[in-house]
């Protein structure tokens, strides 16, 4: 994706406007919101969409971090250099369940798997 911040901000703003429009249309189309609902219903649906976006951003950020890391790490048990492969792990974040991508190593000497990046990213 293009790295120009001004262009990316403009695109994000356009996508947020479109997401809000589609969300409102969807809630009306499927009957989630009918007539004049209590404001808490409107706020709840908006918050739910925000949480969905939050989970997507977290998953994407972790995938970017994994893609930029070195594909080998030392085994915490014996220190042997081991290959790392991308693996998904289910995590419950503040905004709900997400599948985070991280690097997983397996030491054939210790016969154990390890996740070297988990502590580095605060998960």
Binding footprint of Zn ion on the chain (CB under 5 A)? 75, 77-78, 80, 107, 109-110
Nearest distance, CB of residue 75 and Zn ion, angstroms: 3
Residue with smaller CB distance to Zn ion, 28 or 80: 80
Q: What is the largest CA-CA distance in the chain?
A: 65
Work out how close the CB of 122 gets to Zn ion at its nearest, in angstroms, rounded to a whole number. 25
Q: Which is nearer to Zn ion, 61 or 109 (CB)?
A: 109
Which of 66, 107 has the CB closer to Zn ion?
107
- Report the residue number, 44 or 76, with the smaller CB distance to Zn ion: 76
Q: How far is the CB of 119 from Zn ion (least distance, A)?
A: 17
Pairing verdict, β 81-93 and 72-74: antiparallel
Report the distance separating Cα 37 and Cα 40, nearest Å. Answer: 8
Strands 112-114 and 72-74: unpaired
Tokens linked to 38: 């209590």
Cα 64 to Cα 100: distance, rounded to the nearest angstrom: 11
**In the complex, least distance from residue 88 CB atom to Zn ion, rounded to whole angstroms:** 23
């Amino acid at each position: 994706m293009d790295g120009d911040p001004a262009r990316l901000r403009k695109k994000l703003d356009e996508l947020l406007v479109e997401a809000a429009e589609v969300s409102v249309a969807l809630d009306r189309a499927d009957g989630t919101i009918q007539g004049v609902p209590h404001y808490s219903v409107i706020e709840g649906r908006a918050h739910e969409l925000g949480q969905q976006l939050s989970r997507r951003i977290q998953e994407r950020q972790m995938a970017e971090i994994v893609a930029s890391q070195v594909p080998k790490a030392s085994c915490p048990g014996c220190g042997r250099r081991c290959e790392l492969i991308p693996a998904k792990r289910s995590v419950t974040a503040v905004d709900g369940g997400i599948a985070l991508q991280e690097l997983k190593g397996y030491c054939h000497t210790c016969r154990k798997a390890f996740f070297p990046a988990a502590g580095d990213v605060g998960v």
